[in-house]
Chains A and B, each alone.
Chain A
């Protein structure tokens, strides 16, 4: 099969009056990670549920791994896995019991199911928690068992719905590692996220979705180029030096610098992080004391503002203001 792993044309889902998904066109190449980025209520889950054959399509068409989702749901189910946004394993059962149950449902015999469950628990660092009920797992462990449950039979394509929302940075990193291992293994991944940096880290291509429509699509650098890399914020100690600092930053960054109303805070677009380091060195060389600085990656808010001219509604407060990891 040479075609796209996922192809949708004018995909639509209507709940009553609400067009939750409103004409989505997507093309996902096999073996790549595709990120669906959008705020709460954008239609990410609804899109994924239609592609995973869980929700009837109201308009348009979708093929997954060459099979029409509506016409051949069973063929799709046999080759994809879905890790939902919420619990997708039984909280009353233990890790082992959940995986054994799923393995049995997929046709493993008793022995084979036990062996596969043990292998997965080991790989996901959950051996010690194997006999604990899922309801006693931490958020990160839960996410890992959710994903382990999705690869009892390694799928050709996996849907991950907000796999890291609400996780601490360390657990988030672990999930990222799993996604990278999946791709290295040749699995196509469609993941949804509210975090720009997550899409940036993992996805080969990103579609930004809002009110059920794709408002931008491209690689992460293409998207960033349309938004600007982010903003530098600097605060100087001495108000008398602010004007001098403003002039030096304007020169070093070659962009417009604005001075905030407090008279000591400066901010500027920072398209090129390497220039920022130089500019800060120049300031200290000139004896200007900087009390505070930060380099912010454009938040989802800024992306939305740039792409749609409105702020993302109902956005998760955690999603704002992400630090740019590489500069630190």
Chain B
């Protein structure tokens, strides 16, 4: 900055320049509008920037799975599976499912926050493909899913996870988890559109996810549970997802579990994606 009079206000950071303002307004460049993919990718880039500027949001994505894996393996491993190293073979795919499924809330919270803050109004008043801002949020989720999966996987490998399915099996397991996660995301995007605050979205999602996650076969063998709970666990899509991921990372998944996972994903999307989009277009 050139030497100007010191100014007491922080507005001194800059003054309007009338000439430059005129020039900037006179610049009538009108490029062609981007297509749906380009617009969505730009919003995905925005999601990356937000992770860069607010890295705290990666805390849940990395620290929780680390804590859960270590705590469960060493506290309960001996009791539940004979030894920690035996338990981690069962637990690692389960923790992966649990972690990724919890992360699905971010898109809904982000959407709610954008609407509440007013940024969404700007996006919606622009001549762009309408779902693009939402797709961008989901792309942000995808990055978090992959990151969390890598954290869980690396930690599990360190403490003794030995997947028999090899790299391909592991990748298939992660991919299946992410497919299911994207179908759940639609529930939270709908909540994000309907609810008043991001905290409300978070609380509702937690209230739904906690029992669903724990009433599954992620942590313990359902055979030890009372009969009525076993039937609940059996109906829980998380159970089938976990079993399928264990299979893929191990000696192969049962077709029935895969069908369960794909069918429940399809049902979730068939119900919540149209509801979300309808609500979104009426915003």
Chain A residues in the interface with B (C-beta under 8 A):
49, 52-54, 56, 74, 77-78, 80-82, 84-94, 97, 101-102, 104-109, 112, 116, 119-120, 122-129, 133, 138, 140-141, 144, 149, 151, 153-154, 168, 170-171, 174, 177-178, 181-182, 184-185, 187
Name the residue of chain A whose CB is nearest to the CB of B129. Answer: A105
The number of residues on chain B lying at the interface, defined by a beta carbon within 8 Å of a beta carbon of chain A, is 48
Among B1, B11, B29, the residue within 8 A (CB) of A140 is: B11
* Docked complex Cα distance between A120 and B126 (Å): 18
Q: Which residues of B contact A (CB under 8 A)?
A: 1, 9-11, 13-18, 20-34, 38-39, 42, 45-46, 49-50, 53-54, 117-119, 121-128, 132, 282-283
Q: Is the CB of B33 within 8 A of A106?
A: yes
Separation of A30 and B13 alpha carbons in the complex (Å): 35
Known: A93-B53, A107-B31, A181-B25. A54 touches B121 (CB 8 A): yes
Asked whether A153 lies within 8 Å of B30 as measured between CB atoms, the reply is: yes
A74 proximity list for chain B (CB < 8 A): 127
Secondary structure at the B interface, as helix, strand, loop or mixed, is: helix
Given A86-B118, A168-B9: A129 in contact with B14 (beta carbons within 8 A): yes
Q: Nearest residue in B to A89 (C-beta to C-beta)?
A: B119
* CB atoms of B124 and A54 under 8 A apart: yes
Bound complex: CA of A325 vs CA of B28, how far in Å?
Answer: 36
Cβ contacts under 8 Å, A94 to chain B: 53
Would you give 21 A-B contacts (Cβ < 8 Å), ordered by A?
Answer: A84-B122, A86-B117, A89-B119, A101-B49, A105-B39, A105-B128, A107-B30, A107-B33, A108-B31, A116-B27, A119-B20, A122-B17, A123-B17, A126-B13, A138-B10, A141-B10, A141-B11, A149-B122, A153-B30, A170-B9, A185-B26
Q: Which of B27, B42, B46, B122 has the most CB of A within 10 A?
A: B122
Question: Chain B residues near A56 (CB, 8 Å)?
Answer: 282
> Shortest Cβ distance from A166 into chain B, in angstroms?
14
- What is the chain A residue whose CB lies nearest that of B282? A56
Given contacts A105-B126, A129-B13, contact A123 B282 (CB under 8 A): no
The answer to whether B127 touches A77 (Cβ under 8 A) is yes
Nearest CB of A to B277, in Å: 15
Residues of chain A with a CB closer than 8 A to B54's CB: 92
Closest to B10 in A: A138
In the complex, are the beta carbons of A82 and B121 less than 8 A apart? yes
Given contacts A88-B122, A125-B17, contact A138 B117 (CB under 8 A): no
From B21, B38, B123, A181 is in contact (CB under 8 Å) with: B21
Instruction: Assess the B16–A77 pair: CB atoms within 8 A.
Output: no
A168 CB contacts on chain B under 8 angstroms: 9, 11
The 5 closest A-B pairs by CB, nearest first: A125-B14, A107-B31, A86-B118, A123-B24, A123-B20
In the complex, which of the residues A106, A112, A122 contacts B20, with contact meaning CB atoms closer than 8 Å?
Answer: A122
Chain A residues, Cβ within 8 Å of B122: 82, 84, 88-89, 102, 149
CA distance A90 to B49 in the complex (A): 11
Nearest to A127 among chain B residues (CB) is B14
CB-contact partner of A151 in B9, B13, B24, B282, under 8 A: B24
Residues of B within 8 A of A91 (CB): 117
* Given A88-B122, A107-B32, A123-B23, 13 additional A-B pairs, CB 8 A: A56-B282, A82-B125, A84-B122, A87-B119, A88-B121, A92-B49, A92-B54, A102-B122, A104-B38, A105-B39, A105-B123, A109-B31, A168-B9
